[in-house]
Structure 1
Amino acid sequence: MGLRRFGSITALLLVGCNPSAGDDGNPFETMATGCTAGGSTTGGPGTTGVDLDTTADGSGSTGGGPKLDVGSAVDLGGGGMPGTIPTTCATAEQFETTVGCRFYALDLDNYTPWDESQWGVAVANVQEAAMAEVVVEVHDANGWQIVAGPQAIAPKDLHVFALPDRHQEGSGVQPAGAYRVTADVPVIAYQFDPLGDGADVGWASADASLLHPAPSWDTTHHIVGMGSTAHLLPPQGAYVTVVAAHDGTVVTVTPSVATLAGPGVPAGVPGVPFDIMLDEGDVLEVMTQTLGSALTGTRVQSNDDHPVGVFTAHECANIPADVYACDHLEEQMPGLRRWGTSFVAARMPVRRPDQPEPSLWQIYASEDDTEVTLTAAAGVTGLPASPLVLDAGEVAEFYVGGSPTEPGDFLVDATRPVAVANYMTSQNNLTTNQTGDPAMVLLPPVEQFLPRYVVLVPTAWPTDVLVLTRPTGVAVSIDGQPVAQGEFSAVGADFEVARLEIPDGVYLLEADEPFTVSVAGMHQTGSYAYVGGLSTAVINPNPPEG
């Protein structure tokens, strides 16, 4: 499969993974063993190892608009307005989409001292003609106070807000810890941790996340993520972070593993719920206590009419767990009402043209007796036999690789709603071209593709890639320039995937039918990845409670 440097004449191929050894002095070091495609585990999270009570860290991993043919997606009774861009805030709130007018951004915990690096939020105006006016606020004793803006953003353009450090360290409640981002027309927002430039070593541990506007939040969330890391001193913790949009929000956390106590937060016992009261803008962080543990399977619920924003994150994760080097992870979790059943699993960019390295996948079931069918071309390696059968809270975890022409894309079809997460692996998973470290994306189900995106490719990352997934034959343009048919490869009969290397900048992506894009960047000591946006029309209106 081709990977073209978009906007230049350089053509590249996509890349690969094998074990290697060595220590180049980077502080994010681990044992330098490797992974192979085909390793897989299925089950809920577990715990092993050392208590981290004195470190406040923890660790471990477990095994009407345009119409889109969603193929074998199961009809769960949802409605909404998939595949369109709302033009007013009222419409955005009514139909629930990541194109919205009110967001809460969080400076999430990263590897110390890089958790204090420059952090920021990018706001994209995806309207055809309307200007957007955006403000960023923080809350104090006198109410919400503007700290950036008002900022006018032209149609199909983007503005970056560089914001002061407000990260929460370890388990605890941070009153008024969030930034509130509001716009007068629907926009898309992303956060970058850190924002980074060529002089900022914070990019050695970095990631990014699409932000979900508050009206699309939910009252029931299940957590998917990686375990904490045991190979650094101090060990690095996996955690979940919750932000409230309403005063008097009661958050109930049922941890899947032991979690640390902190200011306003009790120590968590596996399977035992605890309640925390939050007001608008307050931030709750719950971090793992024990090495070898992950928060996958943790449940986060809130009281009726008080939906919350929930992030799954990691200070600095190694993937695989014993492979150099670690990197920050973060993603905002959709609530269960927006989980789907049909996905195009377009993998992270590969890093060697001749030998694509395996990419880690997690498929998490929200309900019992979920059958998951995985379909791929013959050249794709590492997929477990399917259908898989998962119960609520169980996760299938496996590495998928392939060949230069079939690097590891596949289709996921489930009988009940699932979450699908993909991870870039650590740099020593490659024998050569050892660049990039772990990054995370949660893939949107096919029902939630959109026809237009404006995305930021931040400065100073030597390699940045757009991963495009489209219905077969649908024309996609970048800044008005069509993406050549030859850049796409088939994934099944109904979808195609392309990977384009691009320079830093702001890009407008459009098509006549809904498609999806993720953005990823790599440096020798780090990487980032995020999904460019999604419709959040309700797919699964009646998820089971608990």
Structure 2
Amino acid sequence: METCEDFCLNGVCTTQCQAAASQYSYLGCEFLAVSTTNLVEPVFDDDFAVIVGNPETNPVTEVTISQNGSLVSSDTLGPGETAAIQLPMVQSLKAAVDSVVVPGGAYEVTTSHPVVAYQYNPLNFYDQVSDMYSHTNDASLLLPEHTLANEYLVTSVASFGVGVDDSTIGFIPPFVAVAATQDGTTVTLEFSGDTAAGNPAATTAGNTATVQLNRGDVVQVLGDYPALAGSDETYCTNQGWETTTAPCPGVMGGNCLYCLITDSDLTGSKITSTAPVAVWAGHRCSFVPYTNWACDHLEEMMLPTVTWGQMVIMSAPVYPDGTGVARALYRVLARSDNTTVSFDPPVAAAQTLSAREYFEFESNGDFVVQADGPISVSQFLLGQDELGSTRGDPAMGTGIPWLQVRRDYDFFTPATFERDYVNVVAPNNASIELDGSEVINWEAIGSTGYAVARIQLQPGSHHIESTDGNTFGITTYGYALYTSYLYPGGLNLARQ
């Protein structure tokens, strides 16, 4: 009989990293991280961060981060420890005014044992030295390289602009960013919206662009937007853009003109590649909705279409001040033609969607989304003025396909936000323990047979598990003054 030094899988000696690579979950040993375009002030330019969590069951784990072949940072984590590794934002991505290809633009994260990893863009909401708030944060769950694939459909929101009285309107675009895992990768982007100039060149909805990437290279495509435009309503309406005029909020005074460039929405754009790639989508800094302040960076790592499912359960976030629940915006995106989507409870009317078509609505409810084909569901936290709170602002997260939920999760909440939460969704009467204590205060999701618990968390590492064999899902999010973050707390990524 052979004795394994590291790990035994199906009677064969292997490493824990090799075992993780065969199991298709959010735990892994190799990740890519990308500091996508963000309007945040330069004082936060060194505050992009990769957060690595080493599960309690792991031995001591080595972490290295490199970029373009050079070591950038390293750390050692004991069992149950986490590290927030701050890194410089890649300026050619962060401050891009056009679409761009950046050789070596991705950070490569490697660990000696399977870990959970996130990126924060930026990590802090306040800089004490400059006495400056970031105003624009979000974060992404990083998917291990072994779970990445060759096809994605993206979700974002459109370019928008705002002007005050006679001032010039400033416009801000959405983005999609793709990072290659292998040299010589051909990436084809089929756009659902108009794109900005640069590399690849500007094009219109329905057209494609092809780029060649080596490992660690990043292509970041921006939705179309004018750098500056006229300040009157006629300019926007003559372009065919959705336009609203309303009094500006608070002490600003005057009237605000809001323009939504609907043709620039990249939602439904299709990414295909000759080798697995990592894909992010979001917005440099968006109002949600576009008529209400303030803007915040949006980003999330897109799930490969091969991992999508036909059922997703969504839960309302806790209101930013901690009382009750808040409304959120949802987008449901279909992978195939003639996909019928329904909601229970009926927070929205049933829809039939074509391939790459989406449906959008707001709700403050918890609900099950059921379809007869694969779907993606995205959740957007609303702006502070829309909710009437100084805490929070838009953030973007992905709903977990129910066929990808797990029996246990290791996850992390940062010390750099004021309030952190986890929403736990499970079958009625499930027995779940969070950090060794039973999860209580469940709220039924209509008559669906599922329930949600919304729990405020202390910063640090957390472990949550089922004690009765039920699978369940978790979503993590947090608030601070003028900002927020949101992402799935973990999931499996099995091929379907």
The alpha-carbon distance between structure 1 residues 107 and 217, as it changes in their structure 2 partners (threshold 3 A), is same
The alpha-carbon distance between structure 1 residues 471 and 250, as it changes in their structure 2 partners (threshold 3 A), is same
Q: Distance in 2 between matches of 1:199 and 1:488?
A: 38
The alpha-carbon distance between structure 1 residues 323 and 423, as it changes in their structure 2 partners (threshold 3 A), is same
Q: Distance in 1 between matches of 2:386 and 2:290?
A: 11
The alpha-carbon distance between structure 1 residues 398 and 188, as it changes in their structure 2 partners (threshold 3 A), is same
Picking from 243, 262, 273, the partner of 1:302 is 273
Alpha-carbon offset, residue 330 of structure 1:
0.3
The alpha-carbon distance between structure 1 residues 313 and 87, as it changes in their structure 2 partners (threshold 3 A), is farther
Q: Distance in 2 between matches of 1:350 and 1:87?
A: 44
Q: Distance in 2 between matches of 1:534 and 1:451?
A: 10
Query: Which residue in 2 is equivalent to 1:428?
Result: 385
Match status 1:158 vs 2:82: yes
Matched AA of 2:21: E
Matched AA of 2:47: Q
Query: Secondary structure, in 3 states, of the residue corresponding to 2:341?
Result: strand
Residue correspondence of structure 1 range 149-298 to structure 2 within 5 A:
149=74, 151-167=75-91, 168=93, 169=96, 170-196=98-124, 198-199=126-127, 201=132, 203-231=134-162, 234-262=170-198, 264-290=199-225, 291-292=261-262, 293-298=264-269
Query: Which residue in 2 is equivalent to 1:10?
Result: none
Q: Distance in 2 between matches of 1:492 and 1:218?
A: 36
Bigger shift: residues 502-511 or 247-256 = 502-511
Q: How many residues align?
A: 433
Alpha-carbon offset, residue 321 of structure 1:
0.8
Picking from 455, 462, 466, the partner of 2:422 is 466
Query: Which residue in 2 is equivalent to 1:119?
Result: 48
Q: Percent identity?
A: 29
Q: Which stretches in structure 1 are left out of the alignment for 5+ residues?
A: 1-80, 402-407, 540-546
Residue correspondence of structure 1 range 277-356 to structure 2 within 5 A:
277-290=212-225, 291-292=261-262, 293-303=264-274, 306-351=275-320, 356=325
Q: Distance in 1 between matches of 2:60 and 2:448?
A: 39
Contact 1:347 1:422 in 2 (8 A): no
Q: Distance in 1 between matches of 2:30 and 2:58?
A: 20
Larger relative contact order (Cα-Cα within 8 Å, sequence gap ≥ 6): 1
**Deviations, residues 224-271 of structure 1 (Å, cap 9, x unaligned):** 111122126531110100000000000011111221122x42112221
Q: Distance in 2 between matches of 1:319 and 1:252?
A: 29
Matched AA of 1:253: L
**Deviations, residues 314-354 of structure 1 (Å, cap 9, x unaligned):** 11111111111111100000111001111111122234677
TM-score (structure 1 length as normaliser): 0.75
Query: Secondary structure, in 3 states, of the residue corresponding to 2:160?
Result: coil
The alpha-carbon distance between structure 1 residues 354 and 462, as it changes in their structure 2 partners (threshold 3 A), is closer
Alpha-carbon offset, residue 116 of structure 1:
2.1
Contact 2:39 2:285 in 1 (8 A): yes
Matched AA of 2:356: G
Contact 1:357 1:429 in 2 (8 A): no
The alpha-carbon distance between structure 1 residues 509 and 202, as it changes in their structure 2 partners (threshold 3 A), is farther
Q: Distance in 2 between matches of 1:182 and 1:213?
A: 10
Alpha-carbon offset, residue 510 of structure 1:
2.5
Residue correspondence of structure 1 range 397-546 to structure 2 within 5 A:
397-401=360-364, 408-431=365-388, 433-484=389-440, 486-512=441-467, 513-539=470-496
The alpha-carbon distance between structure 1 residues 514 and 126, as it changes in their structure 2 partners (threshold 3 A), is farther
The alpha-carbon distance between structure 1 residues 353 and 507, as it changes in their structure 2 partners (threshold 3 A), is closer
Contact 2:410 2:463 in 1 (8 A): yes
Alpha-carbon offset, residue 454 of structure 1:
2.9
**Deviations, residues 492-542 of structure 1 (Å, cap 9, x unaligned):** 443211111223333222223432222111123111112111100112xxx
Matched AA of 1:521: G
Matched AA of 1:394: E
Q: Distance in 1 between matches of 2:326 and 2:477?
A: 16
Matched AA of 1:251: V
The alpha-carbon distance between structure 1 residues 214 and 410, as it changes in their structure 2 partners (threshold 3 A), is same
Alpha-carbon offset, residue 374 of structure 1:
0.5
Alpha-carbon offset, residue 464 of structure 1:
1.7
**Deviations, residues 114-149 of structure 1 (Å, cap 9, x unaligned):** 56251101111236243322111111xxxx222111
The alpha-carbon distance between structure 1 residues 526 and 87, as it changes in their structure 2 partners (threshold 3 A), is farther
Matched AA of 2:451: E
Matched AA of 1:162: Q
Contact 1:476 1:483 in 2 (8 A): yes
Query: Secondary structure, in 3 states, of the residue corresponding to 1:297?
Result: coil
Flag the structure with higher strand content.
2
Bigger shift: residues 318-327 or 447-456 = 447-456
Q: Distance in 2 between matches of 1:137 and 1:219?
A: 24
Matched AA of 1:458: P
Query: Which residue in 2 is equivalent to 1:390?
Result: 353
Q: Which stretches in structure 2 are left out of the alignment for 5+ residues?
A: 1-8, 164-168, 226-260
CA RMSD for the aligned pairs?
A: 2.2
The alpha-carbon distance between structure 1 residues 354 and 241, as it changes in their structure 2 partners (threshold 3 A), is closer
